[in-house]
Amino acid sequence: GRCLLPGPAQSRQPSQTLLPLIGPHHQRIGRRQVPWFAMEGSTTEEPAAAAKIAQFQRLVQHYLDRTVIWMRVRWGTLAVVLILYVLRVYLKQGFYVVTYGLGIYMLNLLINFLTPAVDPDAEDGPGLPTKEMEFRPFTRKLPEFKFWLSSFRAVCCASVMTLFEVFDLPVFWPILLAYFILLLVLTMKDRIKHMLKHKYIPFSFGKQTYGELTKMKAGGAAGGKGGKDDK
């Protein structure tokens, strides 16, 4: 009739009914039990490949970040690559569909480059920079660096496509050229109307910079000293 309670030594030992559950399906690492499916499904090849891909992406991004300040060099390189592409298309006398797709894509990038990031028609949107206002940088929907990078990638992809004859589709190219010119005129007309309506300038030409202010102050200080010496 007496109930024997297990002591401290007996309570630490696992029960006999739980011992069959701890079999080959579980492996102990320290005090934690790892299920069998977590051990058998893991391989070392996939994490190594993913790490190499991530390392390569970081390396490419590192060199891209270093080219941000070289704006003229970047756009000059893009112009050279684009000229080489046009020359190849002219010599091959084909790949007009690829060229048309490249033109439409770059036109879309140009429109996003000229479009403000915030819609000025919204009531709570910030004011856009104008000639009468104080200096305020123009925030674009597509930044300059991304515009260059996307254009450079598109020209390189189009150049690679010219190496395969399967992309040389037969087409009457004057129709594509006329349609592209029509799209260019209509979209640029719409952008110009939008600029005139909201009176903003999508470029920073003619705006006063800190370098010009420094030159003006330096010139004024030199003129003041010269006037005192003359007296």
Q: How far apart are CA 172 and CA 170, in angstroms?
A: 7
Check residue 89 and give its pLDDT.
Answer: 94
Nearest to 180 by CA among 94, 102, 85, 81: 102
Contact (CB, 8 A) for 138 and 204: yes
Nearest to 102 by CA among 82, 80, 74, 87: 82
Q: To 10 degrees, the CA torsion angle through 92, 93, 99, 103? A: 120
Q: Over the chain (231 residues), what is each successive 10-residue block's mean pLDDT?
A: 53 49 48 50 63 88 88 94 95 93 95 83 56 61 91 95 92 93 93 84 58 49 50 46
Contacts 24+ apart (CB under 8 A), 159-164: 159/81, 159/84, 159/85, 159/88, 161/95, 161/98, 162/85, 162/88, 162/89, 162/92, 162/95, 162/98
Check residue 25 and give its pLDDT.
Answer: 47
Check residue 140 and give its pLDDT.
Answer: 80
Encoding tokens for residue 12? 């630490």
In the chain, count H helices and then E strands: 8, 2
Return the number of other C-beta atoms located less than 10 Å from residue 224's C-beta: 10
Check residue 231 and give its pLDDT.
Answer: 46
Residues with Cβ within 8 Å of 37's Cβ and at least 6 positions away in sequence, in order, are none
Q: DSSP letters along 3-22, please? A: -PPP-HHHHHSPPTTTGGGS
Check residue 6 and give its pLDDT.
Answer: 54
Nearest to 136 by CA among 149, 117, 155: 117
> What's the farthest any 2 CA atoms get from each other in the chain?
123
